[in-house]
Chains A and B, each alone.
Chain A
C-alpha cells in the first residue's frame, strides 16, 4: 500500500484537491482510502464517503493535531491494510504553520493557496519546506502575475519540491497530481520510521490544563519573548 501525507493551512483547499485526485484514481481502477485528521470537528468525511471511498476521522481535540497524527498513524495504516487499499491518503490540517507531519520515505504533499499573500511561503515551516510536492490552489481568482510571484516564493522556500497548480473547483490539475501519487513509494510498516523534522514542542503547565496567568504557574518548556529597544522617533 502507498501512504501519502497531505497537509496545509486551514481552508487552503486540501479536501477539494483530494476529492479531485480520488475521482481520478478511482477512474484508473485503484482502491483508495482516506484519513482525515482535524481538530474540533469535521464534515469532510462525508465528502470522501460520497466518492465511495472508506474513511476514518480523527479529532485531536485539545492536543496538538500533529502529535495526535503521529501517535495514531500506525493504527490507521493497519486499518488501510485491512481494507485492502492500494492507496491511503492522510489529510491533516496544519494549524500553526510550524507543523511537521511529513515522514521519511512517505510521499509528502503540502497544499497552500494563492490568497495567502506573497510572504506566506516563507512563514510556513517544515510542512512546506520538507514537502515533495507543493500544490497551489485558488489560482482561478488571482491574477496571472500573482500566481507567478507566489510560485516563485514557494520555490525559494522549498527549491526541491515539485510545484503543481490544482483548481479545487474545476478539478483542473487533479488528474496530473494523481499521476504523481501513483509513483509514491510503498509503505509496509512505519515502526522505526522517522519524521522528516521534529514537531512543534509543547510541554508546559498550560499543556496540562493550567489556566492561571503568572510566572509562578509557568512550568516546563517555557520561552521568553525578547523585547528590543524601540528607537524614539
Chain B
C-alpha cells in the first residue's frame, strides 16, 4: 500500500524509520488518526519554506530512504570474497605487471616512503578503479568487474580505515556510540553486539574501560582498541587499512588476529618490522607503483620471534618507568 495512504498511527507503530525521518525535519504529527498524505497536505506552505523542502521533495526522499532501508535489510548486496588488483603504471609510466589477489582473512603490509603512492592504491581499491584513475589500475571483486553503481553505495564501501591521527569526536559514551553505529547498520541484536565489542576492545587495550566511559576521554590505546573491535564487528567494508598503529597501549598481535578471525582483508601501512613480518606478504610501493610483492619468508618468521623478544624487553622497561622505578640496568 502507498505510504501516503497509511495512517500516521500505523506508520509510527510499524515503521519507526518514518518517525525518525520526519523527526529529522522537526515534524511530529500530533494527530495520528489521519493518513500521512492528508497530514502533509494540511501543512502550510510557510512551514515547508521554513524546513527547506517542499512536499513533493519530502515524499520522494522518504520513499527513496525507505526503499534503501529495505534493500539493506534484505541483504541483497553481493558478498566480497576476494579483491584483485590488476597493475597499471607508476608515476614514470613504467607498467606494474602484476595481478594480486587479496583474500578474506589475509594480512598484507604496505611499505614505502611517504608520498610513494599508498593513498593512491587505497583510493583505487575504494573506487574499484577500472583503468580510469591516474595509475590505470583495475580492481576486480570476486574475479569480476564490479557494477559501477556500487561505487556510491554506502554499504558496499570496500575500504575501512584506521589510522593514528583518528579520534572520536562525538559526545557520547562507549555504549551509546557503538549502539549508534549498530543502529545505522540495521543490526538486530544491538545490546549483544555492543557488549561483545566492548569486551573484545578491552582485551586489546592495555588499560580497561567501561561502557559508560565517554569516547572522547579514552586514551590513545583504548581508542584504537575500540576502533579496531568496532570495525571488526560492525563495518561492512571487507578491506581494513591500518595506518601505523603505535605500539603503546594496544595488543597489536591480538588486534590483527581479531580482524583475521572476522574475515577481513587486512592491509597495514607500516615500517615497524614486527608488524611487517606478522603479515603474510608485503607490498613495496615506489614512485606511485607497486614495485614488488614479497612473501614473508620462513627465515623472516623466525626473526619475528627474536624481534618480539626485543619488543617485550622494551615494554617491560616501559612498565617499570610507569611504576616509578629507576632504569639503571637494562636486561
Name B231's closest neighbour in chain A (CB-CB): A144
B61 contacts A158, CB within 8 Å? yes
A155:B162 contact, CB within 8 angstroms: no
CB-based nearest A residue for B172: A118
Q: Which residues of A contact B52 (CB under 8 A)?
A: 98, 100, 125-126, 129, 197
With A125-B51, A130-B57, A197-B54 as contacts: A144 and B160 at CB distance below 8 Å: yes
Contact B152 A142 (CB under 8 A): no
CB distance from B154 to the nearest CB of A (A): 5
Asked if B169 and A160 make an inter-chain contact with CB atoms under 8 angstroms apart, the answer reads: no
Q: Let me know if B133 is at the binding interface, CB within 8 A.
A: yes
Chain B residues with CB under 8 Å of A162's CB are 152
> In the complex, are the beta carbons of B165 and A141 less than 8 A apart?
yes
Residue contact B134 to A175, C-beta cutoff 8 Å:
yes
- Any B CB within 8 A of the CB of A143: yes
- Per-position binary interface string of chain B over residues 167-178, scored 1 when its CB falls under 8 Å from any chain A CB and 0 otherwise: 111110000011
Which of B19-27, B285-293, B305-313 contacts its partner?
B19-27
Residues of chain B with a CB closer than 8 A to A164's CB: 152
| Nearest neighbor of A171 in chain B, beta-carbon distance | B119
Who on chain B is nearest to A139 by CB?
A: B161
Mark each residue of chain A from 143 to 166: 1 if its CB lies under 8 Å from any CB of chain B, else 0.
111101101110111111011100
User: B180 CB to closest chain A CB, in angstroms?
Assistant: 6
Q: Give the residues from 141 to 173 in chain B that come closer than 8 angstroms, CB to CB, to chain A.
A: 151-152, 154, 160-163, 165-171
- Asked if B65 and A156 make an inter-chain contact with CB atoms under 8 angstroms apart, the answer reads yes
A179 near B180 with CB under 8 A, answer: no
Docked pose: A197 CA to B105 CA in angstroms: 49
CB-contacts of B6-50 with A (<8 A): 20-21, 24-25, 49
The contact size tier of chain A is 35 or more
Q: B168 CB to closest chain A CB, in angstroms? A: 6
- Write the chain A residue with the least CB distance to B240: A144
| Known contacts A129-B52, A172-B123, A173-B123, A141 near B61 by CB under 8 Å | no
A162 — nearest CB in chain B belongs to which residue?
B152
Determine the residue in chain B with the shortest Cβ distance to A24: B134
User: How many residues of B are counted as interface, with CB atoms below 8 angstroms from the partner's CB atoms?
Assistant: 52
> Which of B120, B134, B168, B236 is A143 in contact with, Cβ under 8 Å?
B168
B6 to chain A, nearest CB (A): 19
For the complex, is A210 an interface residue (Cβ under 8 Å from B)?
A: no
* B169/A172 in contact, CB under 8 A: no
Q: Could you say which residues of chain B place their CB within 8 Å of the CB of A141?
A: 165-167
- Interface: A140 (CB within 8 A): yes
Given contacts A142-B169, A197-B52, A198-B49, contact A160 B162 (CB under 8 A): no
Residue A186, interface by CB 8 Å = no
Min CB distance A67 to B, Å, is: 15
Complexed CA–CA distance, A132 and B119 (Å): 26
Q: Does B60 contact A (CB under 8 A)?
A: yes
Select one of A24, A118, A126, A139 contacting B53, CB under 8 A: A126
Verify A129–B53 contact, CB threshold 8 A. Answer: yes
Residue B250 lies at the interface, judged by CB distance under 8 Å to chain A = no
A117 at interface, CB cutoff 8 A? yes
Closest chain A residue, CB of each to CB of B227:
A143
Whole-angstrom distance between the alpha carbons of A201 and B52 in the complex?
11
**B24–A157 touching, CB < 8 Å:** yes
Q: Would you call A144 and B152 a contact (CB within 8 A)? A: no
Which residue, B54, B61, B237, has most C-beta atoms of chain A within 10 A? B61
Please report the C-alpha to C-alpha distance between residue A139 and residue B168 in the assembled complex, in whole angstroms: 11
Q: Is A27's CB within 8 Å of the partner chain B?
A: yes
**A75 to B225, alpha carbons, bound, how many Å?**
55
Residues 173-216 (chain A) with a chain B CB within 8 angstroms: 173, 175-176, 179, 197-198, 201
Residue from A114, A130, A159 having most chain B Cβ neighbours under 10 A: A159
Cβ-based interface call for A217 (8 A)? no
Which of B53, B57, B132, B181 is A149 in contact with, Cβ under 8 Å? B181
Is the CB–CB distance between A151 and B227 below 8 Å? no
Distance to closest chain A CB from B300 (angstroms): 30
- Report whether A155 and B65 are in contact in the complex, using a CB–CB cutoff of 8 Å: yes
Taking a contact as CB atoms under 8 Å apart, the answer to whether B184 and A176 are in contact is no
Question: Could you write out 22 A-B pairs with CB less than 8 Å apart?
Answer: A27-B134, A125-B51, A125-B53, A139-B161, A141-B165, A141-B166, A141-B167, A143-B168, A143-B230, A144-B162, A144-B166, A145-B231, A148-B185, A148-B236, A149-B180, A149-B181, A160-B61, A170-B119, A171-B119, A173-B126, A175-B123, A197-B54
**20 new A-B pairs (CB below 8 Å) besides A151-B154, A197-B53, A198-B49?**
A118-B170, A142-B166, A142-B167, A144-B160, A144-B227, A144-B235, A144-B237, A145-B177, A145-B230, A145-B235, A152-B184, A155-B65, A156-B21, A160-B60, A172-B119, A172-B120, A173-B123, A175-B134, A176-B123, A197-B57
Residues of A within 8 A of B (CB): 24, 27, 98, 100, 114-115, 117-118, 122, 125-126, 129-130, 139-146, 148-149, 151-153, 155-160, 162-164, 167, 170-173, 175-176, 179, 197-198, 201
Q: What are the 6 closest A-B residue pairs judged by CB atoms, nearest first?
A: A125-B52, A122-B24, A159-B64, A152-B184, A159-B65, A145-B181
